């Protein structure tokens, strides 16, 4: 039997005040233009616009594209150069398309795309909930993160860990959108809030976190990830699962181009945690790596994933 989940009281949508300082007026004007452009179109059209814009961005601002190119060179060193270049271009297209589909959903609401979302492996989450413990839902950063996140948040009362954006208007709008979808949104730097969510026994919590980004030397161990033998990988994930006695589940996001749909796939994690933070980090990297290999063009390669080196220095991109 699935775990019994009592009704969830969601966070207020207006926890943060609306940013109206004159320094934000340019952002609000930009949002208004986006609203006018996106309101009458379909999400398929918004994705096409994003892919077209990717080619422009590559030409006028190649810096981010070179990050993608460098990451792919590191993880797929044996891939044919032309094939890798094509993969980098497709990844940039999916990245910008992901931004556009996120903007579309924020303007139109999740209901506008819910019929094109599919949940797979739900029995895995049900089995974890049946243990009666809080669930640590471990994910990764894919280009369809926001769209699949909406499907995830409506499928189950999930609490997510959020990284505050530097752009205050963007951060406000993203938070407001996510608070409509998820049981709660917890700031990544709010250690007290995170600890309370992990330890909460007043209801059965499902807490999503994406531990697949480079967070620096001090918080990491260095273990293999795809073709990179020593990759900075957060060591705290297995410690959280152990300390708070949480059941781990992996969740994979992907976009299916043919018969367009966004797919959320719950997968079990075997032999985790073990108490060995290095082995546990390697296990997560293996699972995430397998997920990436299924849709390499949809991983968030625009992030400097391999910036930190084991000797304390940083890799230049």
User: 257-267, pLDDT tens digit by residue?
Assistant: 988 999 999 99
Tally of structural domains, the chain? 1
Cα 201 from Cα 198, distance rounded (Å): 9
Say if residue 300's pLDDT is above 90: yes
Please indicate, yes or no, if residue 9 is contained in any of the structural domains. Answer: no
Q: What is the pLDDT at residue 114?
A: 87
Summarised one tens digit per residue, pLDDT across range 58-112 is: 999 899 999 999 999 999 999 999 999 999 999 999 999 999 999 999 888 888 8
**C-alpha separations of 34 from 41, 87, 96, 173 in Å:** 11, 29, 14, 13
Of 116, 117, 177, 182, nearest to 154 by C-alpha is: 182
Cα 210 from Cα 143, distance rounded (Å): 13
Say if residue 311's pLDDT is above 90: yes
Work out whether the CA dihedral 173, 177, 182, 184 comes out positive or negative: positive
Please indicate, yes or no, if residue 270 is contained in any of the structural domains. Answer: yes
DSSP 139-170: ---BTTHHHHHHHHHHHS-EEEEEPPPSSHHH
Please indicate, yes or no, if residue 17 is contained in any of the structural domains. Answer: no
Summarised one tens digit per residue, pLDDT across range 6-59 is: 445 455 455 678 999 999 999 999 999 989 999 899 999 999 999 999 999 999
Please indicate, yes or no, if residue 316 is contained in any of the structural domains. Answer: no
Say if residue 2's pLDDT is above 50: no
Of 156, 62, 141, 155, nearest to 102 by C-alpha is: 141
The whole domain housing 153 covers 22-298
Please indicate, yes or no, if residue 59 is contained in any of the structural domains. Answer: yes
Please indicate, yes or no, if residue 14 is contained in any of the structural domains. Answer: no
Please indicate, yes or no, if residue 312 is contained in any of the structural domains. Answer: no
Please indicate, yes or no, if residue 6 is contained in any of the structural domains. Answer: no
């Amino acid at each position: 039997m699935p775990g019994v989940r009592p009704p969830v009281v969601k966070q207020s949508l207006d926890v943060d005040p609306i940013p109206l300082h004159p320094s934000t007026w340019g952002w609000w004007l930009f949002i208004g233009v986006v609203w006018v452009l996106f309101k009458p179109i379909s999400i398929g059209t918004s994705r096409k616009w994003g892919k077209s814009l990717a080619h422009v961005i590559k030409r006028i601002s190649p810096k981010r594209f070179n990050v993608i190119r460098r990451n792919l060179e590191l993880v797929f060193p044996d891939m044919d150069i032309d094939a890798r270049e094509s993969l980098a271009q497709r990844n940039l297209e999916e990245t910008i398309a992901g931004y556009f589909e996120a903007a579309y959903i924020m303007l139109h609401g999740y209901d506008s795309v819910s019929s094109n979302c599919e949940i797979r492996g739900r029995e895995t989450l049900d089995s974890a909930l049946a243990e009666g413990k809080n669930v640590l839902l471990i994910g990764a950063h894919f280009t369809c993160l926001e769209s699949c996140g909406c499907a995830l948040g409506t499928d189950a009362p999930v609490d997510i860990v959020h990284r505050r954006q530097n752009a205050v208007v963007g951060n406000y709008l993203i938070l407001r959108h996510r608070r409509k979808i998820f049981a709660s949104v917890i700031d990544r730097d709010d250690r007290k809030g995170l600890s309370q969510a992990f330890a909460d026994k007043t209801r059965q919590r499902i807490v999503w976190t994406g531990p697949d980004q480079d967070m620096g030397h001090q918080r990491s161990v260095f273990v293999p990830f795809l073709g990179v033998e020593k990759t900075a990988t957060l060591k705290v994930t297995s410690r959280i699962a152990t300390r708070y006695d949480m059941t781990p589940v992996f969740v994979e996001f992907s976009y299916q181009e043919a018969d367009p749909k966004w797919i959320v796939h719950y997968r079990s994690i075997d032999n985790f945690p073990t108490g060995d933070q290095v082995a546990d980090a390697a296990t997560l990297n293996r699972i995430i790596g397998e997920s990436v290999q299924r849709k390499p063009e949809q991983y968030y390669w625009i992030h400097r994933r391999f910036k930190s080196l084991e000797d304390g220095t940083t890799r230049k991109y």
